[in-house]
Amino acid sequence: MMNIKWDEILITGDPLILGSQIAIVLTMVGVIAGITYLKKWKWLWTEWLTTVDHKKIGVMYIIAGVLMFFRGGVDGLLMKAQTARPEMEFLNAQHYNEVFTTHGVIMIIFMAMPMLIGIMNVVIPLQIGARDVAFPQLNALSFWLFFSGAMLFNISFVVGGSPDAGWTSYFPLAGKEFSPSIANNYYAVALQIAGIGTLISGINFIVTILKMRTKGMTLMKMPMFTWTGFITSIIIVAAFPIFTVALALMTTDRLYGTHFFTLSGGGLDMLWANLFWLWGHPEVYILILPAFGIYSEVISTFSRKSLYGYKSMIVSIVSIAILSMLVWVHHFFTMGSGPTVNSIFSISTMLIAVPTGIKIFNWLFTMRKGRIKMTTPMLWALAFIPCFLIGGVTGVMLGMGAADFQYHNTLFLVAHFHYTIIPGVVFAVFAGIYYWWPKMFGFMLNEKIGKWHFWLFVIGFNLTFFPMFFLGLDGAVRRAYTYSAESGFASLFGLSAIGAAILALGFAAFCYNIYWSIRHADRNISSDPWDARTLEWSTASPVQYYNFAKLPEVNRLDAFWHMKKEHQGLTLKESEIEEIHMPSNSGLPIFMGAVFGIAGFFLVFEWHIAAAIAGIGIIAGLIIRSFDYDDGYHVKVNEIKSIEKSWRNVEGEVHDHVS
Amino acid sequence: MSANVNTALPLEYQREQDRMNILGFWIFLGAEIILFATLFGVYGVLYQRYAGGPTHQDIIVIKDVMIQTVLLLTSSFTMGLAIFEMRRHNLKGLIAWFVVTLLLGGGFLFMEINEFIHYVHEGATMQTSAFLSSLFVLLGTHGAHVTLGIGWATMVIIQLLKRGLTPVTARKTFIIGLYWHFLDVVWIFIFTFVYLKGLVG
């Protein structure tokens, strides 16, 4: 059945959305015209779109993450504008539902995830002294599937309508009975596509870390960020298939009339909530563990000390990973599973505070008696500790089953998880971007603008979310689009809205910093501007495409720090240079991303025949890949020599950032 | 990346990249175990929610299920023989047992499709009840895996015919062997917990 109703496809009648549609079209025309005018299509295709280089893929993840941060941030601002005063009529209830749904999905799946996976991509192979990941082409496929899912989800608000059942998409609301339009199909299909990409990334990083560590780097000599990336990848492989199944069942319920989560036919709506959080809670730790890894690197570098309690850090992340699988019921203590079940999950939830507390103390002890440098990355790490602590302590409050009945579904909960995710993940992403920026691009982000960014963001964040604890305790429920003047909520909501504006200014300062630094930052910097400790700083900035001319050899933790102190392994003899084998670029990953996106789009609109035809494209891609015997190419010794000479000789005459 | 060749190992393990591919595939199978475990969990929650529709006893034809089981278990055995021939560097034997495996797999698939048609004729569709939704999706996911496996194995056979036994084709054959055995293991759980338990309970 293909009776296309065009008026249902393009959303019309709302000035905000009409403006967005026009803006999207103009931007696309502008971008295409710009690339054509500058004759950059070939460059774009060969250098970026078909690349299998882990560093470039990482950068593309981060760019996509920043764009999605903007989109999700605008959603957040719309919500804050709507609730700034009582009885506002800026957004109606339906529009508000759509905005909080897309805000949640985009911030978690399409902002936080790609930022962290992007940083993992750039950093992990360098930290373990490898030349790429285990499966470079699969890595590109991961990115393009993520990107395809993100774009599919993002067009929903102009084409077909935004999902509006919350980022958790609870049934029965998200089912066909109560959400008959195609909008919620976007949720089921777009997240599925992006999720496949994430699962592939997880497998890729596990194999990379297990098999490609350089000589001498045993597991217990790995940098902490690599450790957290490793454990995160294991959680991804353990948790994402659950989401794959949950979304597939949601799809069959909505598209093919099955009865998994419906109210009729014996379906069980709470089964969705259980499946969702069986993935969703581990997902929280998929986000937080690499962030913890970033803080570990930053704090150790700028305290000029080895990480305190390295082994207990590893024990902590492993126990957090295990516990993450055993707490999902705390998201719905009110389901009515009885005091025994609730008590068990209360205890497992509160247990997570123990390894997390150990980590906090380890960071504090790393700083103790350290020669601390107040750089921008370090500022983020310092602000993280008290802010995250507030998030953690309120988490323990929410974790008490009996007490949770009071907090459940209030803004207290919303404040809690923003206090964990923003200091936990967003601050870490900023710390990581400032810290590794010179490694990625060969120049630093401006420290002065960075400090503006930091202070605006941190003050704005606290002003936005701290009042929401009190609003929640006073009884303001989440996801309500407005409130009465008599409720007495107005002043706290108003304060929160002002905070959101300051938060937005902080993000603007970040964007301006990128612009300013691209234009004006000093290009003549050391390849190790922070005087850092791990192997990624032992090679050029920006890193040459083969990473290391000669694979480094390590014999202890913080290998590069000791190499510098002992003046060992830093120089390269011409006779040591050998040909390097590298993987070839491929257009297949972006092709697969495109056909997945097209098939997904048809599936969203329930045009099954068209979707099946697009599905043939997916099978064709798999067959082409099966018969692809491209074994890569060898970089010639002369080329390596000239590249190595170009950056090694400038040592000593560069502007060192850290004196 | 292609360095580090160890000719003392079986063909598929000689190159570092192939060793990584095999490890990666084992991890992928780990993800597949979680996927099927979730589907079994869903089935375990919904399997008595008949909603007034047909029950296990009403629709299951145990004779046909036995034939399916024998076909699939035998195919796993012949897959093992194929890998055994590969280790002996006997390309002809490898391809012969490989083809037998796929024929048996095709037979299984034919039986399963007939089983589904029979269910639908009995008025048991996946829209009828939560029990049938979970049954069809669990069996269907396994069946889709078998279908994909047959298509994939056909690609590998073509490459074996074209290129003979090389480290790459040996690795590809070995990996699809792992996949095929995995589908067999899933079927044992389906046979036990869906069919046998369904007829008893």
Domains of chain A, residue spans:
1-292, 403-525
pLDDT at position A639 is: 93
Residue B2 lies in a domain: no
CB–CB contact A203 B156 (8 Å): no
d(CA A296, CA A223): 9
pLDDT digits (tens, 9 = 90+) for A519-547: 999 998 989 999 999 999 999 999 999 99
CB–CB contact B31 A241 (8 Å): yes
With 0-12 / 13-18 / 19 or more C-beta atoms within 10 angstroms meaning exposed / middle / buried, residue A42 is: exposed
The answer to whether the complex's ipTM is over 0.90 is yes
pTM: 0.95
pLDDT at position A5 is: 64
Band (A654; pLDDT cuts 50, 70, 90): low
Cross-chain CB nearest to A581 (options B3, B152, B156): B3
Q: Residue A10's beta-bridge partner residues? A: A159
d(CA A332, CA A166): 15
Kindly report whether the peptide bond that precedes residue A172 is cis, defined as omega within 30 degrees of 0.
yes
Q: Do residues A379 and A423 lie in contact, with contact meaning Cβ atoms separated by under 8 Å?
A: no
Mean pLDDT value across residues A47-71: 96
d(CA B178, CA B73): 14
**Distances, alpha carbon A396 to alpha carbons A6, A237, A347, A420, A566, in Å:** 50, 27, 10, 12, 47
- Most confident region among A30-44, A112-126, A554-568 by mean pLDDT: A112-126
d(CA A227, CA A366): 18
Residue B186 lies in a domain: yes
Task: Quickly tell me which residue has 């048609």 as its tokens.
Answer: B117
A45: left (phi over 0), alpha (psi -120 to 50) or beta: alpha
**Distances, alpha carbon A121 to alpha carbons A63, A145, A229, A301, B174, in Å:** 13, 15, 10, 20, 29
Q: Do residues A395 and A420 lie in contact, with contact meaning Cβ atoms separated by under 8 Å?
A: yes
* Among A401, A377, A385, CA closest to A451: A377
Element (H, E) at A582: strand A580-582
* Among A577, A613, A574, CA closest to A595: A613
pLDDT at position A572 is: 85
pLDDT at position A649 is: 66
pLDDT digits (tens, 9 = 90+) for A390-447: 999 999 999 998 899 999 999 999 999 999 999 999 999 999 999 999 999 999 999 9
**DSSP state at residue A177:** T
pLDDT digits (tens, 9 = 90+) for A124-150: 999 999 999 999 999 999 999 999 999
Q: Which residues contact A396 (CB under 8 A, 6 or more apart)?
A: A349, A350, A353
Mean pLDDT value across residues A95-104: 95
Q: Do residues A440 and A401 lie in contact, with contact meaning Cβ atoms separated by under 8 Å?
A: no
* Among A270, A163, A147, CA closest to A197: A147
pLDDT digits (tens, 9 = 90+) for A209-254: 999 999 999 999 999 999 999 999 999 999 999 999 999 999 999 9
d(CA A298, CA A379): 10
DSSP for A548-580 reads: -SS-----SSSHHHHHHHHT-S----GGG---E
Residues of B in contact with A252 (CB under 8 A): 126, 133, 137
Residue B88 lies in a domain: yes
* Among B34, B22, B13, CA closest to B178: B22
Does the beta carbon of A335 lie under 8 angstroms from any beta carbon of chain B?
A: no
Chain A to chain B Cβ contacts (< 8 Å): 121
Does the beta carbon of B129 lie under 8 angstroms from any beta carbon of chain A?
A: yes
**DSSP state at residue A45:** I
Band (A472; pLDDT cuts 50, 70, 90): very high
Decide: helix, strand or coil at residue A106: helix
Decide: helix, strand or coil at residue A428: helix
CATH of the domain at B171: 1.20.120.80
Does the beta carbon of B3 lie under 8 angstroms from any beta carbon of chain A?
A: yes
pLDDT at position B106 is: 97
Best A201, A256, A258 residue to mutate vs chain B (most B CBs within 10 Å): A258
CA distance B17 to chain A (A): 8
Residue B49 lies in a domain: no
CB–CB contact A259 B137 (8 Å): no
Structure tokens at A598: 């097209």
Q: Do residues A233 and A206 lie in contact, with contact meaning Cβ atoms separated by under 8 Å?
A: yes
pLDDT digits (tens, 9 = 90+) for A147-188: 999 999 999 988 888 999 999 999 999 999 999 999 999 999
pLDDT at position A522 is: 92
Best B21, B27, B33, B136 residue to mutate vs chain A (most A CBs within 10 Å): B27
Cross-chain CB nearest to B130 (options A134, A268, A626): A268
Superfamily of domain A1-292: Cytochrome c oxidase-like, subunit I domain (1.20.210.10)
The helix/strand count (H/E) of chain A reads as: 23, 2
How many domains are contained in chain B?
Answer: 1
CB–CB contact B31 A199 (8 Å): yes
**Distances, alpha carbon B34 to alpha carbons A204, B41, B62, B85, B190, in Å:** 18, 10, 28, 32, 15
pLDDT at position A4 is: 60
Q: With both helix axes pointing from N to C terminus, report the angle between A353-367 and A269-302 in degrees, rounded to the nearest 10.
A: 10
pLDDT at position B2 is: 46
> B74 lies in which domain range?
10-44+62-200
Residues of chain B with pLDDT under 70: 1-3, 201
Q: Do residues A490 and A85 lie in contact, with contact meaning Cβ atoms separated by under 8 Å?
A: yes
**Distances, alpha carbon A448 to alpha carbons A255, A459, A504, A615, B148, in Å:** 53, 17, 18, 51, 56
**DSSP state at residue A328:** G
| pLDDT reading at A478 higher than 60 | yes
| pLDDT reading at A589 higher than 70 | yes
Amino acid at A528: D
Cross-chain CB nearest to A581 (options B2, B127, B152): B2
Residue B37 lies in a domain: yes
| pLDDT reading at A7 higher than 70 | no
pLDDT digits (tens, 9 = 90+) for A619-644: 999 999 999 998 899 999 999 999 99
d(CA A523, CA B139): 60
